[in-house]
Amino acid sequence: MAAEMILDIVLGSIVGAMQLLVYLACLIWRIKKYRKGLHYSAAGIFALALLAFVGVFLPVGGFTFLNGGTAGTETLFFAMVFCPLLAYGSVRWTCFCVYLDGKYVVKRTLFSEKRVDLTAEGTFIDDSDSLNIFFWIKIVSAEGEMIEFNCRRIEGNLTLFLNQCKKVIGDRPSRQ
């Protein structure tokens, strides 16, 4: 076997295994841990589709169409560089949700879960960043636990979510 063919097999196996792990992790997380609320599903699905394009369709096209089939190794190197970045983004955005669980606001990601008790004294919602282009919402407890998320990509009814959180907090001011 030629050295380039062995390199193609190794690189293709690494890219394929990485993609398979990302798709399985996202699928299992969505089935087992996802709760309806605020989420980044569209951004995550877009990143998963882009990951499939860069990791599957581009190398296949390199081996079959580009430059008479000799550009396959180059497209695999391209996939090795960009697939980890896309895999990180797709897992981060697909495996993310924020929801209200009784008196707690819960932020759940792939490997972690944060809970902030809204009824505890000193807990506040900081949505004063609305003039900033990135518009971050922060829910901070008195102990320093903080749940923060970006509202540019968020899906779900943010206004309803914040109103429900403010009802649980009660008459206390929403920002200190």
Interval 123-167: pLDDT, tens:
787 776 655 566 777 788 877 788 888 777 788 888 888 888 888
Handedness of CA 32, 37, 43, 49 (dihedral sign): positive
**Per-residue pLDDT tens digits for 28-51:** 988 988 888 888 888 888 988 998
**Per-residue pLDDT tens digits for 110-119:** 888 888 888 8
For residue 101, give every residue at least 6 positions away whose Cβ sits within 8 Å of its Cβ, in sequence order, or none.
Answer: 35, 115
pLDDT attached to residue 148: 82
3-state secondary structure 115-138: EEECCCCCCEEECHHHHCCCCEEE
Residue 132 amino acid letter: N
